[in-house]
């Protein structure tokens, strides 16, 4: 079964997110109507070995001239140096505004290729073909593209919506277990922000429950991806540039990005999804500490996240100083005028944006977390 979710609203051109199994083989037929010229498939070296030949074969069979451009795997490719190299190769290929970029890979490839497409000749079309669960449910939808700097994650970027997103559930079978769990963190996040019933299903360990998705069950994964895309597409359609409700999608991210930065964005220590999971647990516990959320709700969130094999405590990620984490959070791109902005929760399924969060209260909370009290 194939499910198509439309992303529409605001000032951007509507596009479709196609979710199903075996979609990579038909990629060329879906890209052909968009490709007036040539296509460059940007991917990383790992994904190229797994899916590059299939993608190129499908494009060429549909009459779309295509070539492969690879980047090193990992967060390190989201850099000025790699962005410059990718754009230089695009220029060497003599691409023009009629050509299309296909981003084949996880969030790193999608972000980097999307930003290159946004900048090249002031913007050319691109198609997202996410190959990780995290990218399928989150980064491939919504048009956020960015690279990192030593001062923080995703601080240099642009909003550039794709023309199409093709999410093939079958490619997730090649994911390492840790990467699958990392993507599950973003799935859980979608339930936490606005759909308590979805979160309940994700937490359900029965035969018909969604928890099997965290272990790779294709049927559960497909349902989880579709619902996550529905949630994100509705929010993006309402608020493309994150002026309001879209900020809710950052639940767990301000905590998570600060933790990642303190670890030097070293994914051997903590993946982005693991950081988001930890950030969600911290956001709920901070909400409970401030009397905003019932303590039992925060406890349940931690229990469900832990059951999926994801971290919920800072000592599971490394050694930190509260002042350093708060400093990172103050410099986050969601901060305004140096004031702390966090996505907090009143309960599961009811997240909200809290502006001008008291830094002293946050520091005291993190001190307690770090001391284990």
| Residues designated catalytic | 122, 144, 186, 232, 242, 246, 250, 253, 257, 272
C-alpha distances in Å from residue 344, one per residue of 189, 197, 277, 290? 12, 19, 14, 10
Pick from 314, 8, 318, 258: nearest CA to 141: 8
C-alpha distances in Å from residue 68, one per residue of 25, 44, 49, 86, 102? 17, 10, 11, 11, 9
Q: Of all helices (H) and strands (E), which one includes residue 353?
A: strand 350-357
**Could you give the residue ranges of the DSSP H alpha helices within 159-271?**
177-194, 196-203, 218-238, 253-262
Cβ neighbour number for residue 205 with a 10 Å cutoff: 11
How far apart, in whole angstroms, are the C-alpha atoms of residue 249 and residue 228? 11
Positive or negative CA dihedral for 200, 204, 209, 210? Answer: positive
Strands 152-159 and 144-149, sheet pairing: antiparallel
**Where are the strands (E) in 28-162, listed by range?**
39-44, 66-71, 100-105, 125-130, 144-149, 152-159
Cβ neighbour number for residue 97 with a 10 Å cutoff: 12
For the chain, the farthest-separated pair of C-alpha atoms sits apart, in whole angstroms, at 63
Q: Give the CA radius of gyration of the chain.
A: 20
Residue with tokens 């498939």: 41
C-alpha distances in Å from residue 343, one per residue of 134, 143, 157, 280, 292? 20, 21, 21, 9, 12
């Amino acid at each position: 079964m194939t499910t198509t979710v439309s992303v529409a609203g605001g000032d951007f051109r509507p596009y479709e997110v196609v979710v199903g199994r075996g979609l990579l083989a038909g990629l060329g037929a879906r890209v052909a109507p968009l490709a007036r010229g040539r296509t460059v498939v940007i991917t990383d070296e790992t994904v190229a070995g797994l899916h590059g030949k299939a993608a190129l074969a499908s494009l060429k069979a549909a009459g779309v001239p295509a070539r492969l451009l690879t980047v090193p795997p990992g967060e390190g490719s989201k850099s000025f140096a790699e962005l410059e190299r990718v754009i230089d190769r695009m220029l060497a290929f003599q691409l023009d505004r009629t050509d299309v970029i296909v981003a084949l890979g996880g969030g790193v490839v999608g972000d980097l290729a999307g930003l290159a497409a946004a900048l090249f000749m002031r913007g050319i079309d691109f198609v997202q073909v996410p190959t990780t669960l995290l990218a399928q449910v989150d980064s491939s939808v919504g048009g956020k593209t960015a690279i990192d700097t030593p001062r923080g994650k995703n601080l240099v970027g642009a909003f550039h919506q794709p023309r199409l997103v093709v999410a093939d559930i079958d490619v997730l079978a090649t994911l390492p277990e840790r990467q699958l769990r990392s993507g599950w963190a973003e799935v859980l996040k979608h339930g936490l922000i606005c759909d308590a019933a979805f979160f309940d299903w994700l937490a359900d360990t029965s035969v018909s429950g969604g928890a099997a998705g965290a272990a790779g069950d294709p049927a559960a994964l497909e349902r989880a991806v579709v619902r996550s895309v529905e949630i994100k597409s509705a929010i993006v359609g309402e608020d493309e540039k994150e002026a309001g409700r879209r900020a809710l999608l950052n639940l767990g991210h301000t905590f998570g990005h600060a933790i990642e930065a303190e670890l030097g964005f070293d994914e051997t220590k903590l993946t982005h999804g693991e950081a988001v999971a930890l950030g969600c647990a911290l956001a709920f516990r901070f909400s409970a500490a401030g009397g905003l959320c019932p303590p039992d709700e925060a406890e349940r969130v931690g229990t469900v996240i832990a059951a999926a094999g994801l971290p919920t405590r800072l000592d599971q990620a490394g050694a930190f100083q509260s002042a350093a984490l708060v400093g990172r959070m103050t410099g986050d791109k969601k901060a305004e005028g140096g004031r702390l902005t966090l996505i907090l929760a009143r309960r599961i399924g009811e997240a909200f944006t809290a502006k001008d969060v008291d830094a002293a209260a946050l520091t005291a909370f993190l001190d307690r977390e770090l001391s284990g009290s």
